[in-house]
Amino acid sequence: MSTSQAIRERIAAQPAGAPFTPALFAGLGSRASIDQALMRLTKAGFVERLGRGLYTAPRTSRFGLKTMPTPEAVAQTIAALNELRQARGLSQKMLAEVLHVQQPAVAKIEKRTDMYISTLRSHIEAMGGELEVVARFPDGAVKISNFADLGKVTAV
């Protein structure tokens, strides 16, 4: 099955009109092939690009018009890091000091809808946490500890 077809199937399994990021397709191909497939699906009208790294498969109303996700649904998709930081009682300035960056860099990270695992890991660790990536399958879960060597996995 092609990357594009696998992406189409995964999108079809999502709630109609829900926003999503390319992270939904992790494991289906390289980052470049996923981006290229999303670009082609956008040109074909199968998905719509809402912003950098944010897409939706628009619903068609009973009147034949495309409906887009609510602003609340889009905000919920991109607000996770901001909420996590606030729940930990940290300001952007405090987090920036730990990360050795300026406060606007933290704001930019929190607004992003797609990022490298290493960026997310450093952000989480700066808040005092530890990032774990777990792949869940019908027959069990596997903790992925090193993306450079996927042979080193731990059953969870």
Rounded mean pLDDT for each run of 10 residues along the chain, 156 residues in total: 86 82 78 88 88 79 76 68 76 83 86 75 80 81 66 51
From start to end of the chain, where are the E strands? 19-20, 48-51, 54-56, 59-60, 66-67, 133-137, 140-144, 153-155
pLDDT at 31: 76
Rg (CA), the chain: 18
DSSP state at residue 6: H
Indicate the residue type of 116.
Y
